[in-house]
Chains A and B, each alone.
Chain A
Amino acid sequence: MTTMIHVENVAKEFTLHNQGGVRLPVFDNVDFTVAAGEALVLAGASGAGKSSLLRILYGNYRPTSGRIVITHAGRPVDIVSAVPRTVLDIRRRTLGFVSQFLRVIPRVSALDIVRDPLLARGVSPEEASERAKAMLARLNLPQRLWELAPATFSGGEQQRVNIARSFVDPSPIMLIDEPTASLDAGNRDVVVGLIAEAREQGSAIVGIFHDEAVRESVATRYLDITEFRKAA
């Protein structure tokens, strides 16, 4: 199967310059690959570096060393050394990042937030609206909220808008950090279903899930990142 992510020799260490220059090694020598249709679940205690690793895959954190080769439009690209606009192009077409937090943009409605990735990929406005509405309905977001900007929504409502945006057109690679953290059981099951569908359609998934039941139903493989802790 097609390799979508190839992680080679990745290390991360934070240097806190304004706290006496203290160094915070997180992990070292991380190597793994993820293929299309796989769901790799990252395991490890709180603070082990799961979120940091996911952010590195997205090009958001910069690793101290190593390469992350992403298969983008059929071609391998090292996201660590790529120039900014290449990283943005990879994110637009290949990499999706799902977190539990929605970054609210002033005055933009929930529906427009969900439509946006479809429009960016060239889907017609009519089709984009239809698909966005279907996704919001599936996540049980009350219809009266669709035309409103989410700034005033509850945490769980914002979270569902964010999930709808991420899954309305799943990317070839989906990076997922605790998407179900404050959802009720019904909505949690919807999210699990969305992840499974994306994977069956060929997305490569890397995720972090605190909830054991969610983890079990999503994972095709586990990676305990504690094993990459730098030997002290």
Chain B
Amino acid sequence: MNMQVNPQELTLDPAPLLSVAGVSRFYGERIGCADVSFDLWPGEVLGIVGESGSGKSTLLRCLAGIDRPDAGQVLFRGGAEPLDIYSVAEQERRRLMRTAWGIVHQNPRDGLRMDVSAGGNVGERLMDNGARHYRKIREAALDWLQRVEIAAGRIDDRPRQFSGGMQQRLQIARVLVSEPRLVFMDEPTGGLDVSVQARLLDLLRVLVRDLGLAAIIVTHDLAVARLLTDRLMVMKDGHVVEQGLTDQVLDDPHHAYTQLLTSAVLTV
């Protein structure tokens, strides 16, 4: 039988949203992350897993434009022309981070303005992006608070009056209101108790699917990775040791370290 096989032909959209090539970051002699390469397409959710100190946050900061890598390239295709995010001017990179990207920090305090009301936290992002109409901004803020399940009556409260889970949901609303194409999350459910986590995870799962976001999510929790991600990258000592479809990597791990990681949990 002679069959033509060409998976690339089926590609729905021709170019990746993010192309990462050879990204490395060193802290003196110590490796933060080394020689990481991958492509991310619109609508894809990539998980990064690995033990503490394996370089997950370092890599995420390099990808998100927060921390310049010592080597390698991060190309973002927001418009027609791909943009090398570390070769453009600082100002241009900041604009990109504000309009096309969103960053969800592990600690909501790092992503929220604690002295500004919940509605203000959400509305501020819209104003940053040029919205000026007060009533429309307030309506959008209200809509997003409801989408992350914060009661409308809390719109004028400050984040410090919220529980940890609510603060995290508020941060997510603040990030998603400006409709980013690409979202970076570092342990978005870390530090929350299990029932609060489940609710947040379900919310994230639905939002990511409905908005068709591309996302990169750092987590040490394989169940979180299973639920939220399409693809998985496993890191150890700064290197990517295995990557592939999430269920492939978790169900049929090939690398010794991934086998150790998956056997250490009961069910994922």
The interface-forming segment of A69-77, A128-136, A217-225 is: A69-77
Q: Across the interface, which residues of A come within 8 angstroms of B254, CB to CB?
A: 15, 62
Q: Across the interface, which residues of B come within 8 angstroms of A82, CB to CB?
A: 7, 10
The interface-forming segment of B67-75, B102-110, B178-186, B245-253 is: B245-253
Q: Indicate if A201 sits at the interface (CB-CB under 8 A).
A: no
For B230, give its contact among A6, A17, A84 (CB under 8 Å).
A84
* CB closest chain-B residue, reference A52: B252
The interface-forming segment of A104-112, A166-174, A180-188, A208-216 is: A104-112
Give Cα distance in the complex from A108 to B230, angstroms. 19
Q: Tell me how many residues of B have a C-beta within 8 Å of chain A.
A: 33
- A106 adjacent to B245 (CB under 8 Å): no
- B245 adjacent to A87 (CB under 8 Å): yes
The interface-forming segment of B19-27, B79-87, B198-206 is: B198-206
Interface string of B183-225 (1 = CB under 8 A from A): 0000000000000001101100100000000000000000000
Give Cα distance in the complex from A82 to B248, angstroms. 13
The interface-forming segment of A34-42, A53-61, A155-163, A192-200 is: A53-61
Q: Across the interface, which residues of A come within 8 angstroms of B198, CB to CB?
A: 106-107
Tell me, rounded to whole Å, the shortest Cβ–Cβ distance linking A113 to chain B.
Answer: 13
Q: Indicate if A88 sits at the interface (CB-CB under 8 A).
A: yes
For B3, give its contact among A17, A76, A84, A87 (CB under 8 Å).
A76
Q: Indicate if B144 sits at the interface (CB-CB under 8 A).
A: no
Give Cα distance in the complex from A88 to B246, angstroms. 11
* CB closest chain-A residue, reference B198: A106
Q: Across the interface, which residues of B come within 8 angstroms of A59, CB to CB?
A: 245, 248
Q: Do A88 and B230 contact each other (CB < 8 Å), given the known contacts A77-B7, A108-B202?
A: yes
Q: Indicate if B44 sits at the interface (CB-CB under 8 A).
A: yes
Q: Indicate if A89 sits at the interface (CB-CB under 8 A).
A: yes
Give Cα distance in the complex from A88 to B259, angstroms. 23
- A60 adjacent to B5 (CB under 8 Å): no
- A69 adjacent to B3 (CB under 8 Å): yes
Q: Tell me how many residues of A have a C-beta within 8 Å of chain B.
A: 32
Which residues of A97-145 are within 8 A (CB) of B? 105-108
Q: Across the interface, which residues of B come within 8 angstroms of A108, CB to CB?
A: 202
* CB closest chain-A residue, reference B44: A85
Give Cα distance in the complex from A84 to B230, angstroms. 8
Q: Do A84 and B227 contact each other (CB < 8 Å), given the known contacts A61-B252, A105-B205?
A: no
Q: Indicate if A232 sits at the interface (CB-CB under 8 A).
A: no
Q: Indicate if A65 sits at the interface (CB-CB under 8 A).
A: no
* CB closest chain-A residue, reference B43: A85
Q: Indicate if A83 sits at the interface (CB-CB under 8 A).
A: yes
Give Cα distance in the complex from A107 to B227, angstroms. 13
Give Cα distance in the complex from A69 to B11, angstroms. 17
Contacts from A to B (Cβ < 8 Å): 6, 14-18, 55, 59-62, 67, 69, 72-73, 75-78, 81-89, 105-108
A-B contact pairs, 26 of them (CB 8 A): A6-B1, A15-B254, A18-B256, A18-B259, A60-B245, A60-B247, A61-B252, A62-B244, A62-B254, A69-B5, A72-B10, A75-B10, A76-B3, A76-B5, A77-B6, A77-B10, A81-B7, A84-B245, A85-B11, A85-B12, A85-B44, A86-B7, A86-B10, A87-B245, A106-B198, A108-B202
